[in-house]
């Protein structure tokens, strides 16, 4: 049976709702503009106007940026499942998945770049290349991702190019694995810090990217379909929510192993008890934000037979998974810097600069706005994308059976 590969443009369904598009676009543009304005303010006055300092030098902007970058590579997974693993249900979703990947990566990079001390020297970052730097590798991996996903989208959306989509899909899949490995390695290769130096981080980031990316995809798909008054077929929803649940659980598994290894090493117990027991805000964010809201609750919602079929239940669980993502990254990035560096193992140290002392971090308004500005940029690109090209999936549900399997 021929599977339809048509994609929806918004106004195909409700031309009278198009004014809403401008409202939504204006909101996105406003949030983005606030972020850009904050970045300008930070560049002008220096980072003295942020909550960051020489102990916690990667702050809230980095939480947002790393979320966007990791989720960007993960959201492409929806397309990969279709092209690389040949699951037909995912194929109509590939264009939206690719477009979201580009939007989120662009937004994440924008936040990272705008937070630089010398954002005006972006050209130096692109022309001076240090081959031993993980950041340096990423300077190759990120633009490469744009290029390959762009090509992939072309093969998906241009009929004569369709024949190449499998190859482009493979390339994009391998590239995104490399990219997330690169992002995880930013931390994994930091030999000096007890919070980061671990080979488990790159695979952990890859699994987390699956969960975060799929969660982001589900929310976008739900909102866009809701806009067009289309209900996603329950069989499709069932398969997607099961997959999301598996990814959330797998992420939790990696987090457990990461913390267990640290707890087992005597030299790391201080750090672990800070994160898990007596870190104040950090501990609360870990248990409440990541463990309960971001893992247990969405898993419960996704797998409870009475809850998940309700309207918005899967979407809400996806939202919670993203709350979990931010909580995890906040604890990982900020918490990892708040705990003092172990320069003299086994010794008690004091100094004028936070040696032996647990630091505090309070993000300032410009940082918060810059972070949300990143989300605004991703949002704006997505809205423009679905308005101008046929990105939305159009499912031919007649070919699916009750369990969401394709009838062939």
Partner 1 sequence: MSEQEHDTGGASRRKFIGAAAAAGGMAVIAPGIHLIEVSQANAPTRPPGEAASNLVRWGMLIDTNKCTAGCDDCVKACATENNINEKVADVRQGSQWIRKIEVKEAKGGHTFSLPMMCQHCAEPPCVDVCPTGASMKRADGIVLVDRHSCIGCRYCMMACPYKARSFVHQPLTGQNPEVPRGQGCVESCNFCVTRIDKGQLPACVESCAKAGHHAMIFGDLNDPSSEIARRIAQTATTQIRADLRLDLGVRYQGI
List residues binding partner 1 (CB under 8 A): 43, 45-48, 53-55, 57-58, 116-119, 121-122, 124-125, 128-130, 132-136, 138-139, 186, 189-193, 196, 341, 343-355, 359
Q: Torsion angle, CA of 25/27/29/32, rounded to 10 degrees? A: -140
Q: Residue 166 or residue 193: which is nearer to partner 1 going by CB?
A: 193
Q: Residue 259 or residue 357: which is nearer to partner 1 going by CB?
A: 357
Minimum CB separation from partner 1 for residue 140, in Å? 11
Written as six digits, the tokens of 123 are 């050209």
Minimum CB separation from partner 1 for residue 405, in Å? 47
Q: Residue 86 or residue 280: which is nearer to partner 1 going by CB?
A: 280
Q: Torsion angle, CA of 303/308/314/318, rounded to 10 degrees? A: -30
Minimum CB separation from partner 1 for residue 118, in Å? 4
Burial classification of residue 264, based on how many CB atoms lie within 10 Å of its CB (0-12 exposed, 13-18 middle, 19 or more buried): exposed
Minimum CB separation from partner 1 for residue 43, in Å? 8
How far is residue 249's CA from residue 235's CA, in Å, rounded to a whole number?
21
Written as six digits, the tokens of 335 are 């918490």
Chain center to CA of 105: 9
Q: Residue 356 or residue 404: which is nearer to partner 1 going by CB?
A: 356
- Computed on alpha carbons and rounded to an integer, the radius of gyration of the chain in Å comes to 22
Task: Give the side-chain half-sphere CA count within 13 A for 126.
Answer: 10
How far is residue 45's CA from residue 284's CA, in Å, rounded to a whole number?
33
Q: Residue 115 or residue 395: which is nearer to partner 1 going by CB?
A: 115
Cβ(66)–Cβ(149) below 8 Å: no
Q: Residue 14 or residue 121: which is nearer to partner 1 going by CB?
A: 121
Minimum CB separation from partner 1 for residue 54, in Å? 5
Minimum CB separation from partner 1 for residue 184, in Å? 14
First-to-final CA distance of the chain: 6
């Amino acid at each position: 049976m021929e599977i339809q590969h048509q994609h929806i443009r918004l106004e195909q369904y409700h031309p009278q709702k198009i004014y809403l598009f401008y409202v939504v676009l204006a909101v996105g543009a406003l949030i983005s503009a606030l972020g850009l304005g904050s970045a300008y303010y930070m560049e002008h006055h220096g980072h003295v106007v942020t909550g960051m300092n020489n102990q916690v030098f990667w702050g809230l902007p980095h939480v947002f940026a790393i979320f966007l970058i990791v989720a960007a590579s993960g959201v492409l997974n929806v397309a990969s499942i279709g092209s690389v693993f040949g699951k037909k249900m995912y194929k109509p979703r590939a264009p939206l998945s690719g477009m979201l990947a580009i939007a989120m990566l662009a937004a994440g990079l924008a936040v990272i770049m705008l937070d630089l001390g010398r954002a005006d020297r972006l050209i130096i970052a692109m022309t001076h290349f240090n081959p031993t730097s993980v950041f340096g590798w990423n300077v190759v991996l990120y633009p490469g991702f744009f290029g390959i996903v762009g090509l992939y989208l072309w093969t998906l959306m241009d009929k004569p190019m369709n024949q190449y989509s499998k190859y482009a899909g493979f390339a994009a899949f391998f590239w995104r694995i490399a990219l997330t490995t690169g992002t995880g390695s930013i931390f994994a290769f930091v030999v000096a810090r007890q919070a980061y130096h671990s080979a488990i981080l790159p695979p952990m980031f890859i699994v987390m990217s699956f969960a975060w990316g799929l969660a982001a995809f589900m929310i976008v798909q739900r909102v866009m379909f809701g806009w067009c008054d289309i209900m996603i077929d329950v069989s499709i929803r069932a398969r997607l929510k099961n997959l999301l649940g598996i990814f959330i659980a797998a992420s939790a598994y990696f987090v457990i192993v990461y913390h267990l290894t640290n707890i087992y090493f005597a030299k790391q117990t201080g750090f672990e008890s800070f994160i898990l027991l007596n870190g104040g805000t950090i501990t609360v964010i870990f248990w409440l934000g990541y463990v309960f809201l971001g893992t247990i609750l969405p898993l419960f919602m996704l797998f409870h037979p009475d809850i998940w079929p309700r309207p918005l239940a899967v979407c809400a669980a996806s939202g919670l998974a993203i709350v979990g993502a931010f909580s995890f990254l906040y604890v990982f990035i900020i918490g990892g810097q708040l705990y003092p560096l172990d320069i003299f193992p086994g010794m008690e140290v004091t100094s004028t600069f936070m040696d032996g002392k647990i630091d505090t971090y309070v993000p300032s308004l410009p940082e918060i706005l810059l972070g949300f500005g990143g989300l605004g940029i991703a949002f704006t690109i997505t809205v423009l994308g679905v308005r101008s090209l046929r990105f939305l999936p159009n499912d031919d549900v007649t070919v699916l059976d009750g369990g969401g399997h394709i009838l062939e």
